[in-house]
């Protein structure tokens, strides 16, 4: 019997890349590949890259350098680069690292089997097109293996916002929404395989228009699927949070009370320079509307400090916005230049100022996160158990607010949903007691 070929995938970046990596593995599964957790015994290494963070491309080249020895020892080993760095760098990757056999962009990875076949013939394979054929339809036949209780489901890709700091419109392309019927079919299949919670993904997910009632309409249809208990979505833009989606947070029980809604800054001057197309006041009024329909809603956000021309006064405006919202969690970063974006050409803030502002901002966010977690003590929450804990008899799951919750309980299985009373709050998680 022929030994199966082994595929190692290293995934960088967001949840959408995690989803894409799953689909790449499925595509190569049809070519006889099985996944391995180590590059050492792989027949093919695939880096699924992200271009958002600082020096993203250089980190990829550095990672590729680690595989030179493997390539020398195994001449038949094929190495590929996928994702947004692949889209941005294209042929340059092969020029700088000749050992790379194939490069594929995030809209073309359904063509991986063809590219791998070309690479096996000793040819370099490159595909960074934005093809007309639907990659999701091409890869719709997923393996029917049992799944964990949570899963990502991409419903929308691309972005038309062109924020001054962001490369997504250039690497992922224009906004495209998948048809609602195809999403529903995939969701039902995932539920049949054991999934109880779906997180809907998109670069700008609430701009979804594949349903005649937008993302809110899609969520309401998904909520009718028996066995699907929880629905989440990420990442959103404030300008696309329409009335129906706001209402869904109040009247759709399966839509969890947690929302990631990036604002990036609290200064109107900086928001305008970022091309965010909304003001701080408009964002705060939107939060008020959301909390009016769902008072217990936990908010998460993204913040960039040290954006070009940001003054101390601008930064204080951001701190004031954070104090007004009271975030349950957030992601914060120092601004880093992205070649080809408008912000890269503007006067830059010094690294010392960026460092100082980031420390102050993160201290405030950490204080808010702790306060909100501490306030959970004594409350009853619903926990979806996802894995066993480090201690014998311990289970770990997520509350409806996305808090990690540890429970000492015998007889609870992965995938079960149970009521838990929160007993204590730790730095990054909660400890609870299972209720009868």
Show me where the domains of the chain are located.
5-127, 135-374, 380-434
Q: Which CATH class is domain 5-127?
A: alpha beta
- HSE toward the beta carbon, residue 126, CA cutoff 13 A: 13
Alpha helix stretches (DSSP H) within 66-179:
68-73, 84-89, 91-96, 112-120, 135-138, 168-171
**Nearest-5° Cα angle at 401, 395 to 406:** 20
68-92 residue pLDDT tens? 899 889 989 999 998 888 887 888 8
What is the model's pLDDT at position 34?
A: 92
Q: Which tokens in the block code for residue 391?
A: 């201690």
Compute φ and ψ for 299, nearest 5 degrees: -105, 140
Residues 113, 46: Cα–Cα separation, whole Å: 13
Pick out the residues of the known binding site for [4Fe-4S] cluster.
Answer: 14, 50, 84, 159, 163, 166
Q: Which residues lie below 8 Å from residue 353, measured CB to CB, with a gap of 6+?
A: 306
**pLDDT beyond 60 at 119:** yes
Residue found by looking up tokens 């889209």 in the block: 87
Q: Which of 420, 370, 378, 373 has the alpha carbon at shortest distance from 395?
A: 420
- Considering only residues 110 and 251, tell me which one the structure prediction assigns the higher pLDDT: 251
Of all residues in the chain, what percent carry a pLDDT higher than 90?
Answer: 62
Measured over the CA atoms of residue 92, residue 169, residue 153 and residue 369, the dihedral's sign is positive
Q: Which of 200, 127, 198, 191 has the alpha carbon at shortest distance from 157?
A: 200
How many C-beta neighbours within 10 Å does residue 436 have? 4
Residues 359, 61: Cα–Cα separation, whole Å: 29
Report which secondary-structure segment, H or E, holds 381.
Answer: strand 380-388
Q: Residue 120, SS3?
A: helix
Measured over the CA atoms of residue 231, residue 236, residue 239 and residue 240, the dihedral's sign is negative
Q: In which order are the strands placed within the sheet that holds 33-35?
A: 33-35, 5-11, 44-49, 78-83, 102-104, 125-127
Measured over the CA atoms of residue 179, residue 160, residue 19 and residue 32, the dihedral's sign is positive
Compute φ and ψ for 255, nearest 5 degrees: -80, 115
- Paired sense of beta strands 176-177 and 156-157, if any: antiparallel
Q: Residue 368, SS3?
A: helix
237-292 residue pLDDT tens? 999 999 999 999 999 999 999 999 999 999 999 999 999 999 999 999 999 999 99
CATH, domain 380-434, list 1.25.40.10, 3.40.50.720, 2.40.50.140, 3.40.640.10 = 2.40.50.140
Q: What letter does residue 110 receive in the DSSP assignment? A: G
Q: Give the distance between the most distant pair of CA atoms in the chain.
A: 69
Measured over the CA atoms of residue 97, residue 98, residue 101 and residue 107, the dihedral's sign is positive
Residues 85, 74: Cα–Cα separation, whole Å: 25
Report which secondary-structure segment, H or E, holds 201.
Answer: strand 197-201
Q: Residue 281, SS3?
A: helix
Pick out the residues of the known binding site.
Answer: 14, 50, 84, 159, 163, 166
Residues 214, 236: Cα–Cα separation, whole Å: 13
**pLDDT beyond 90 at 208:** yes
Q: Residue 367, SS3?
A: helix
Residues 210, 153: Cα–Cα separation, whole Å: 14
The predicted model gives 385-392 an average pLDDT of: 82
Residues 116, 102: Cα–Cα separation, whole Å: 7
Confidence of residue 53 (pLDDT cuts 50, 70, 90): low
Q: What letter does residue 347 receive in the DSSP assignment? A: P
Q: Which tokens in the block code for residue 58?
A: 């250089």
What is the model's pLDDT at position 376?
A: 97
Q: Which of 252, 256, 52, 270 has the alpha carbon at shortest distance from 167?
A: 52
Tell whether pTM > 0.85. no
The predicted model gives 172-188 an average pLDDT of: 91
What is the model's pLDDT at position 267?
A: 98
Q: What letter does residue 361 receive in the DSSP assignment? A: H
The CATH number of 135-374 is 3.80.30.20
* Lowest model confidence (mean pLDDT) among 60-64, 128-132, 221-225, 262-266: 128-132
Q: Would you state the torsion angle of the CA atoms of residues 271, 273, 278, 282, taken in this order, to the nearest 10 degrees? A: 40
How many C-beta neighbours within 10 Å does residue 177 have? 20
């Amino acid at each position: 019997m022929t030994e199966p070929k082994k595929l190692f995938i290293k995934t960088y970046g967001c949840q959408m890349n995690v989803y894409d990596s799953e689909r790449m593995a499925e595509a190569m599964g049809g070519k006889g590949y099985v996944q391995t957790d180590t590059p050492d015994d792989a027949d093919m290494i695939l880096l699924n890259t992200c271009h958002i963070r600082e020096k993203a491309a250089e980190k990829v080249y550095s990672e590729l350098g680690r595989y030179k020895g493997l390539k020398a020892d195994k001449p038949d080993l094929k190495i590929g680069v996928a994702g947004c760095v692949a889209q941005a760098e294209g042929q340059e990757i092969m020029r700088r690292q000749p050992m790379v056999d194939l490069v594929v962009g995030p809209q073309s990875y359904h063509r991986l089997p063809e590219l791998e076949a070309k690479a096996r013939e000793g040819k370099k394979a490159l595909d960074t097109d934005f093809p007309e054929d639907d990659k999701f339809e091409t890869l719709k036949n997923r393996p029917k293996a049992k799944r964990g209780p949570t899963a990502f489901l991409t419903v929308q890709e691309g972005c038309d916002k062109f924020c001054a700091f962001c490369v997504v419109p250039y690497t992922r392309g224009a906004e495209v929404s998948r048809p609602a019927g195809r999403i529903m079919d995939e969701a039902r299949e995932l539920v049949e395989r054991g999934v109880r919670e779906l997180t809907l993904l998109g670069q700008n997910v609430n701009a979804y228009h594949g349903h005649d009632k937008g993302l809110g309409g899609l969520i309401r249809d998904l909520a009718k699927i028996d066995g699907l208990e929880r629905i989440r979505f990420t990442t959103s833009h404030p300008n696309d949070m329409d009335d129906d989606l706001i209402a869904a947070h109040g009247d759709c029980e399966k839509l969890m009370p947690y929302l990631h809604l990036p604002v990036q800054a609290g200064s109107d001057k900086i928001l305008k320079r970022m091309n965010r197309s909304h003001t701080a006041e408009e964002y705060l009024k939107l939060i008020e509307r959301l909390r009016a329909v769902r008072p217990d809603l936990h908010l998460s956000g993204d913040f960039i400090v040290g954006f070009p021309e940001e003054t101390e006064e601008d930064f204080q405006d951001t701190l004031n916005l954070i104090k007004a919202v009271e975030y349950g969690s957030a992601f914060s970063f120092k601004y880093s230049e992205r070649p080809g974006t408008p912000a890269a050409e503007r006067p830059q803030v010094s690294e010392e100022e960026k460092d100082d502002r980031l420390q102050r901002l993160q201290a405030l966010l950490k204080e808010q996160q702790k306060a909100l977690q501490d306030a959970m003590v004594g409350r009853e929450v619903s926990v979806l158990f996802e894995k066993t804990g480090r201690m014998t008899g311990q289970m770990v799951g997520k509350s409806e607010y996305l808090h990690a919750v540890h429970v000492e309980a015998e007889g609870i299985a992965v995938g079960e949903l149970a009521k838990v009373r929160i007993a204590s709050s730790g730095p990054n998680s909660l400890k609870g007691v299972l209720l009868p």
